[in-house]
């Protein structure tokens, strides 16, 4: 059986692990130095944008994390300076021309914004991406040494940073700090710049610049010309600087604006051995090409195809790769990308380290060891279980051991499915012992609801692990660790799956959260509207239908596919986790899929949601019929009759409308009542609001009940203030009633 620590390495007292996610074959990127590279966080896509060439356009290649080609297109815009994936899953390209352009996952244009006229005129020479208040932001340096910060990509607000340093064609390194600087400095409350220029370090804020003096530890003077690399820790409390004399220094940001040296390490001998990269002037360079923080206490340095991991206690671990390396920080470690491998280096999660580290001793370790011995058919299994079973708190210790195995299994995702299975099996193995321990007299003060909590934890972890293992397969290419999965959130993950058109996995994601009793608002939203979002995206991806007839072969095929999808989703309409077919139908109407929209409206159980869309589709008879069947008179009147007869966009002739109303006696009677009610309370002669409604009323009065016209004549007579006109009208009404043999009403009309 594979050991939990097979892919671990020790760095001082801590353990780190190399997770080999994929082994891509990037044959079209043989020289990655010619590309700007950005790896999407939490298993996102990888973008390769070719650096500007002397002639011709650059190439933009987007692949999955497994190296599978997603998009390949030509970059025809201004030369790029830097690229990065934003928190909203957009590819941001900072251009030399002074603009930042946002592309969607398919590499097509979304929008852009300018950093101002100064940036456009002097051009951008460098850019840095950072996160500010949960949003992706970017800072740029222009050709005249000005610095601008866009605090948000959605609503960019450009800040000008104070700087008088001549940065053009001079060596400098810099980074953006998004948190307020220690000390009482109003200029450094928002994003500010930490810049190392020549031998000095500067803090640059909005309207203020400060030069920081760095004291050498022990009073020793280090000879160097400039700073070569700068990296800011994830918590923005420490900064690492690599000097051109191959000395690594780590400072902490202290109150008052100073820098306090926390660690200094001379890497000159090691750098000479690891060097071998070729610099711009074709001489051998011993300086690293990358410096990033792996976590808040560990750094990673890169030399061409070497990665060196260093902690604050000066412990060092070297990793060799057969080809050039690109490193990029991840939320829980460091991503290492080569032409033939994609790895994550991270500190071993505490839940897993407790079970796998050398010399570990705990109830969970005893349980896991006992399970492995039992699986091998060894009698030593009982020896490992004895310390737990004979403990005075045996039930509590066994409960903790089962929970520890479950949590450790969660952190084995996404690479080690064998370890997941073994840890889950060990937890299941212990459930029988736990039931016996809870039934023992010594456990009378133990809460038996612990079994229920373990059951809920088991369901949650196994359900999510099943999803993570499905996402990690090579043809999907979205390998996520447990922490990345929690950080990404289901809504963003669902959008990512839909953009890749992995509809079955999107359905599995929604089903996963429907099984979990989570009360987090984002989880509830995905649980309730996830299937609706999937269907809306599927409708948008369909080619435009050439025929609106439901009997058309293409529309029949779409209807069958829709039925198959609904069956596959396994969710009936109207339930808490059901589908809002009206929303999907509205999307279908906007995409020109009218026949599909009609089919979707047939599945919508809420009549009120159907009526408005049927009116948009000009399916007046269906709208009238369903409104009558609902028994809701307010809906029938306000949703169908009034828009149908009084709307400015009604397209039926009066006779056709009257025939339509005669097919539904309830609707006809209701509309007559509505018109007559308006007549009783109206001082004007115009009863309804539209000319079409008056024409329809006249047709109905002539065809159905002639006495209604005479009644209207009598009302007109009594409304008239001219006695002669009133007398003439009443005489005509009397004659009409006599012809209809309504003598009583005729007698009323005598003047």
Q: How far apart are CA 327 and CA 307, in angstroms?
A: 9
At 299 the pLDDT is 96
What is the pLDDT at residue 131? 92
Question: Would you tell me how many other CB atoms lie within 10 Å of the CB of residue 174?
Answer: 21
Between helices 665-680 and 691-703, what is the axis angle to 10°? 110
- Residue of 333, 362, 363, 330 lying closest to 348 (CA atoms): 333
- Report d(CA 394, CA 436) in Å as an integer: 10
pLDDT of 606-664, one tens digit each?
888 888 888 888 888 888 888 888 877 788 777 777 776 665 555 566 677 777 777 87
Q: What are phi and psi of 525, to 5 degrees?
A: -65, -45
Tally the C-alpha atoms within 13 A of residue 15's C-alpha that lie toward its C-beta. Answer: 18
- Strands 8-11 and 14-22, bridge-based pairing: antiparallel
What number of other Cβ atoms are within 10 A of residue 92's Cβ? 24
CA distances from 725 to 616, 682, 729, 732 (A): 46, 20, 6, 11
**What residue has token string 């690479």?**
415
Do the beta carbons of residue 221 and residue 236 sit within 8 Å? no
* Residue 147 · residue 163 · CB < 8 Å: yes
Residues with Cβ within 8 Å of 439's Cβ and at least 6 positions away in sequence, in order, are: none
3-state secondary structure of 234: coil
Q: Which tens digits make up the pLDDT trace of 661-705?
A: 778 777 777 776 766 665 554 444 444 455 555 556 555 555 556
Per-residue DSSP letter, 180: P
Collapse the DSSP code of 602 into the 3-class scheme (helix H, G, I; strand E, B; otherwise coil) and give the result. Answer: helix
Question: pLDDT digit string (tens) for 173-189?
Answer: 999 998 887 665 666 77
Q: What angle do CA 291, 297, 302 make, to 5 degrees?
A: 20
Q: Which residues pair with 254 in a beta bridge?
A: none
Domain boundaries, the chain: 1-30+283-348, 35-282, 361-471
pTM of the model: 0.84
Burial class (CB in 10 A: 0-12, 13-18, 19+), 161: buried
Q: Which residues contact 175 (CB under 8 A, 6 or more apart)?
A: 128, 130, 193, 194, 230, 231, 232, 239
CA angle 456, 457, 458 (to 5 degrees): 90
User: How many residues are listed for the chain in this entry?
Assistant: 751
**Nearest partner of 195 among 217, 176, 180, 214, judged by Cα:** 176
Per-residue pLDDT, 22: 94
Is the CB of residue 292 less than 8 Å from the CB of residue 277? no
- For residues 116 and 146, the answer to whether their CB atoms sit within 8 Å is no
Sign of the alpha-carbon dihedral angle for 44, 48, 49, 52 = positive
Radius of gyration of the chain (CA): 37
Q: E strands along 133-270, which residues?
A: 135-142, 147-150, 158-161, 172-177, 192-197, 200-205, 208-212, 227-232, 238-243, 247-253, 259-266
- What Å distances lie between residue 574 and 488, 528, 565, 606, CA to CA? 29, 11, 17, 8
The DSSP result for 438-471, as a single string, is HHSGGGTTS-TTHHHHHHHHHHHHHHHHHHHHHH
Q: What residue ranges of the chain have pLDDT lower than 50?
A: 277-284, 576, 681-688
CATH number assigned to the domain with residue range 35-282, chosen from the 4 options 1.10.3720.10, 3.30.565.60, 3.40.605.10, 2.130.10.10: 2.130.10.10
Give the CA distances from residue 443 to residues 394, 404, 447, in Å, rounded to whole numbers and listed in that order.
Answer: 8, 20, 8
């Amino acid at each position: 059986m594979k050991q939990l620590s097979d892919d671990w390495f020790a760095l001082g007292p801590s353990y780190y692990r190399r997770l080999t996610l994929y082994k891509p074959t990037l044959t079209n990127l043989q020289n990655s130095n010619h590309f700007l590279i950005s790896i999407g966080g939490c298993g996102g896509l990888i973008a390769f944008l070719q650096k500007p060439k002397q002639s011709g356009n650059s190439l933009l290649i987007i692949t999955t994390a497994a190296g599978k080609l997603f998009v390949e297109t030509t970059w025809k815009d201004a030369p790029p300076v830097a690229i990065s994936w934003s928190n909203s899953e957009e590819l941001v390209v900072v251009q030399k021309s002074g603009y930042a352009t946002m592309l969607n996952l398919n590499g097509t244009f979304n929008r852009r914004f300018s950093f101002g006229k100064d940036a456009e005129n002097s051009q951008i020479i460098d850019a840095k991406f950072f996160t500010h208040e949960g949003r992706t932001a970017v800072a740029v340096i222009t050709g005249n040494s000005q610095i601008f910060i866009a605090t948000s990509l959605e609503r960019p607000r450009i800040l000008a940073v104070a700087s008088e340093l001549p940065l053009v064609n001079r060596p400098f390194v810099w980074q953006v700090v998004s948190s307020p600087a220690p000390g009482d400095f109003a200029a450094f409350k928002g994003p500010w710049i930490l810049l190392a220029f020549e031998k000095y370090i500067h803090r640059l804020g909005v309207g203020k610049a400060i030069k920081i003096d760095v004291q050498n530890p022990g009073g020793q003077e280090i000879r160097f010309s400039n700073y070569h690399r700068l990296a800011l820790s994830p918590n923005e409390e420490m900064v690492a600087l690599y000097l051109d004399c191959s000395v690594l220094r780590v400072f902490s940001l202290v109150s008052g604006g100073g820098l306090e040296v926390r660690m200094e390490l001379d890497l000159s001998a090691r750098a000479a051995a690891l060097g071998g990269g070729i610099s711009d002037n074709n001489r051998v360079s011993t300086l690293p090409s990358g410096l990033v923080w792996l976590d808040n206490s560990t750094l990673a340095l890169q030399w061409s195809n070497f990665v060196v991991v260093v902690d604050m206690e000066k412990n060092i671990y070297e990793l060799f790769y057969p080809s050039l390396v690109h490193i990029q920080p991840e939320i829980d470690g460091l991503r290492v990308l080569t032409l033939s491998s994609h790895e994550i280096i991270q500190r071993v999660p505490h839940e897993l380290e407790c079970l796998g580290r050398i010399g570990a001793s705990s109830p969970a370790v005893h349980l896991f060891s006992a399970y492995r011995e039992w699986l091998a058919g060894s009698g030593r299994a009982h020896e490992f279980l004895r310390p737990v079973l004979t403990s005075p708190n045996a039930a509590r210790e066994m409960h903790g051991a089962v929970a520890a195995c479950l949590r450790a299994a969660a952190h084995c995702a996404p690479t080690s499915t064998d370890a997941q299975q073994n840890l889950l099996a060990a937890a299941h193995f212990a459930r029988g012992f736990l039931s016996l321990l809870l039934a023992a007299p010594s456990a009378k003060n133990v809460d038996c609801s612990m079994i229920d909590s373990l059951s809920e934890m088991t369901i949650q972890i196994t359900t999510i692990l099943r999803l993570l293992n499905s996402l990690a397969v090579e043809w999907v290419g979205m390998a996520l660790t447990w922490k990345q999965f929690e950080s990404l959130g289901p809504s963003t993950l669902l959008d990512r799956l839909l953009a890749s058109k992995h509809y079955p996995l999107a359905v599995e994601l929604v089903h996963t959260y429907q099984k979990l009793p989570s009360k987090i608002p984002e989880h509830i939203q995905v649980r309730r509207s996830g299937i609706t979002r999937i269907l809306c995206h599927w409708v948008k991806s369909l080619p435009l239908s050439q025929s609106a007839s439901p009997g058309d072969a293409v529309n029949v095929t779409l209807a069958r596919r829709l039925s198959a999808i609904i069956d596959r989703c396994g969710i009936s309409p109207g339930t808490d986790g059901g589908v809002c077919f009206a929303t999907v139908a509205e999307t279908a109407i906007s995409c020109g899929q009218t026949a599909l929209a009609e089919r979707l409206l047939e599945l919508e159980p809420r009549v009120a949601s159907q009526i408005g869309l049927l009116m948009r589709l000009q399916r007046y008879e269906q709208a009238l019929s369903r409104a009558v069947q609902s028994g809701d008179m307010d809906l029938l009147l306000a949703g169908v009759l009034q828009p149908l007869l009084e709307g400015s966009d009604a397209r039926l002739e009066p006779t056709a409308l009257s025939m339509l109303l005669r097919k539904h006696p309830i609707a006809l009677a209701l509309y007559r009542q509505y018109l007559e009610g308006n007549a009783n309370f109206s001082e004007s002669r115009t009863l309804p609001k539209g000319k079409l409604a008056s024409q329809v009323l006249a047709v109905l009065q002539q065809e159905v009940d002639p006495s209604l016209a005479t009644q209207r004549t009598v009302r007109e007579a009594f409304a008239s203030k001219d006695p002669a006109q009133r007398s003439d009208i009443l005489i005509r009404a009397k004659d009409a009633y006599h012809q209809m043999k309504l003598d009583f009403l005729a007698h009323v009309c005598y003047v």
